[in-house]
Amino acid sequence: MAALLRGSRCLAGKCHNHVNAAQVSIRSMASKTQVGFIGLGNMGNPMAKNLMKHGYPVIASDVFPESCKELQELGAQILDSPADVADKADRIITMLPSSPNVIDVYTGPNGILKKVKKGSLLIDSSTIDPAVSKEMAVAAEKLGAVFMDAPVSGGVGAATSGKLTFMVGGLEEEFNAAKELLSCMGANVVYCGQVGTGQAAKICNNMLLAIGMIGTAETMNLGIRLGLDPKLLAKILNMSSGRCWSSDTYNPVPGVMEGVPSANNYQGGFGTTLMAKDLGLAQNTATNTKTPVPLGSLAHQIYRMMCARGYASKDFSSVFQFLREEEDKCG
Amino acid sequence: MAALLRGSRCLAGKCHNHVNAAQVSIRSMASKTQVGFIGLGNMGNPMAKNLMKHGYPVIASDVFPESCKELQELGAQILDSPADVADKADRIITMLPSSPNVIDVYTGPNGILKKVKKGSLLIDSSTIDPAVSKEMAVAAEKLGAVFMDAPVSGGVGAATSGKLTFMVGGLEEEFNAAKELLSCMGANVVYCGQVGTGQAAKICNNMLLAIGMIGTAETMNLGIRLGLDPKLLAKILNMSSGRCWSSDTYNPVPGVMEGVPSANNYQGGFGTTLMAKDLGLAQNTATNTKTPVPLGSLAHQIYRMMCARGYASKDFSSVFQFLREEEDKCG
Amino acid sequence: MAALLRGSRCLAGKCHNHVNAAQVSIRSMASKTQVGFIGLGNMGNPMAKNLMKHGYPVIASDVFPESCKELQELGAQILDSPADVADKADRIITMLPSSPNVIDVYTGPNGILKKVKKGSLLIDSSTIDPAVSKEMAVAAEKLGAVFMDAPVSGGVGAATSGKLTFMVGGLEEEFNAAKELLSCMGANVVYCGQVGTGQAAKICNNMLLAIGMIGTAETMNLGIRLGLDPKLLAKILNMSSGRCWSSDTYNPVPGVMEGVPSANNYQGGFGTTLMAKDLGLAQNTATNTKTPVPLGSLAHQIYRMMCARGYASKDFSSVFQFLREEEDKCG
Amino acid sequence: MAALLRGSRCLAGKCHNHVNAAQVSIRSMASKTQVGFIGLGNMGNPMAKNLMKHGYPVIASDVFPESCKELQELGAQILDSPADVADKADRIITMLPSSPNVIDVYTGPNGILKKVKKGSLLIDSSTIDPAVSKEMAVAAEKLGAVFMDAPVSGGVGAATSGKLTFMVGGLEEEFNAAKELLSCMGANVVYCGQVGTGQAAKICNNMLLAIGMIGTAETMNLGIRLGLDPKLLAKILNMSSGRCWSSDTYNPVPGVMEGVPSANNYQGGFGTTLMAKDLGLAQNTATNTKTPVPLGSLAHQIYRMMCARGYASKDFSSVFQFLREEEDKCG
pLDDT digits (tens, 9 = 90+) for C23-73: 444 554 456 789 999 999 999 999 999 999 999 999 999 999 899 999 999
- Tell me the residues of chain D between 229 and 288 that have a Cβ less than 8 Å away from chain B: 273, 276
Instruction: Give the separation between CA A122 and CA A127, rounded to whole angstroms.
Output: 15
Partner-chain contact D292 A283, CB within 8 Å: no
What residues in A contact D132, CB-CB < 8 Å?
A: 2
A151 φψ region: left (φ > 0), alpha (ψ -120 to 50), beta (else) = beta
What residues in B contact D273, CB-CB < 8 Å?
A: 330-331
What residues in B contact C290, CB-CB < 8 Å?
A: 276, 280, 304
What residues in C contact A331, CB-CB < 8 Å?
A: 273, 307, 312
B281 has pLDDT over 60: yes
Nearest-by-CA chain D residue for C4: D226
Cβ contacts of residue A324 below 8 Å, gap of 6+? A221
What is the complex's ipTM, to 2 decimals? 0.87
Confidence band for C309, pLDDT divided at 50, 70 and 90: confident
Parallel/antiparallel/unpaired status of strands B164-169 and D91-94:
unpaired
State yes or no: is C142 an active-site residue. Answer: no
User: How distant is the Cα of B17 from the closest Cα of chain C, in angstroms?
Assistant: 26
Residue-level pLDDT at A7 = 29
| Count helices and strands in chain B by DSSP H and E runs | 16, 9
Give the whole-number percent of chain A exceeding pLDDT 70. 89
Query: In this complex, how many residue pairs, one in chain A and one in chain D, have their CB atoms less than 8 Å apart?
Result: 60
Instruction: Give the separation between CA A179 and CA A89, rounded to whole angstroms.
Output: 17
User: How distant is the Cα of A143 from the closest Cα of chain B, in angstroms?
Assistant: 25
Task: Report pLDDT digits (tens) over A53-67.
Answer: 999 999 999 999 899
Confidence band for A26, pLDDT divided at 50, 70 and 90: low
Partner-chain contact B228 A193, CB within 8 Å: yes
B109 touches chain C (CB under 8 A): no
Q: Average pLDDT, stretch A292-314?
A: 90
Cβ contacts of residue A213 below 8 Å, gap of 6+? A246, A250, A252, A316, A317, A319
Instruction: Give the separation between CA B208 and CA B206, rounded to whole angstroms.
Output: 5
Task: Report pLDDT digits (tens) over D175-219.
Answer: 999 999 999 999 999 999 999 999 999 999 999 999 999 999 999
Partner-chain contact C283 B287, CB within 8 Å: yes
Which of C136, C295, C301 would best serve as a mutation to test chain B binding (most B beta carbons within 10 A)? C301
Mean pLDDT over all residues of chain D?
88
Mean pLDDT over all residues of chain C?
88
Task: Report pLDDT digits (tens) over A174-217.
Answer: 999 999 999 999 999 999 999 999 999 999 999 999 999 999 99
User: How distant is the Cα of D294 from the closest Cα of chain A, in angstroms?
Assistant: 6
Residue-level pLDDT at D31 = 60
C13 has pLDDT over 80: no
Q: Average pLDDT, stretch D257-268?
A: 94
- Helix runs in chain C, H state only: 2-11, 15-28, 44-53, 69-73, 82-88, 99-107, 112-115, 130-142, 156-161, 175-182, 197-225, 230-238, 245-248, 272-288, 294-306, 319-329
Residue-level pLDDT at A326 = 46
Mean pLDDT over all residues of chain B?
88
Confidence band for A310, pLDDT divided at 50, 70 and 90: confident
Task: Considering only residues B248 and B12, tell me which one the structure prediction assigns the higher pLDDT.
Answer: B248
B16 has pLDDT over 50: no
CB hemisphere CA count around D276 (13 angstroms): 28
Instruction: Give the separation between CA A103 and CA A38, rounded to whole angstroms.
Output: 13
Coil/strand/helix, residue C188: strand
Give the whole-number percent of chain D exceeding pLDDT 90. 79
D148 has pLDDT over 90: yes
- DSSP code per residue over B119-169: T-EEEE-S---HHHHHHHHHHHHHTT-EEEE--EES-HHHHHHT-EEEEEE
C117 touches chain B (CB under 8 A): no
Of B55, B39, B38, B43, nearest to B120 by C-alpha is: B38
Residue-level pLDDT at B30 = 55
Instruction: Give the separation between CA B137 and CA B103, rounded to whole angstroms.
Output: 11
CB hemisphere CA count around A122 (13 angstroms): 35
Q: Average pLDDT, stretch A113-139?
A: 96
Strand partners, B102: none
Q: In whole angstroms, what separates CA A4 from the centre of its chain?
A: 20
Cβ atoms of C40 and C68 closer than 8 Å: yes
**Strand segments (E) across chain D:** 35-38, 58-61, 77-78, 91-94, 121-124, 146-149, 152-153, 164-169, 186-193
A309 touches chain D (CB under 8 A): no
Instruction: Give the separation between CA D10 and CA A96, rounded to whole angstroms.
Output: 24
Residue-level pLDDT at D268 = 86
Strand partners, C168: C191
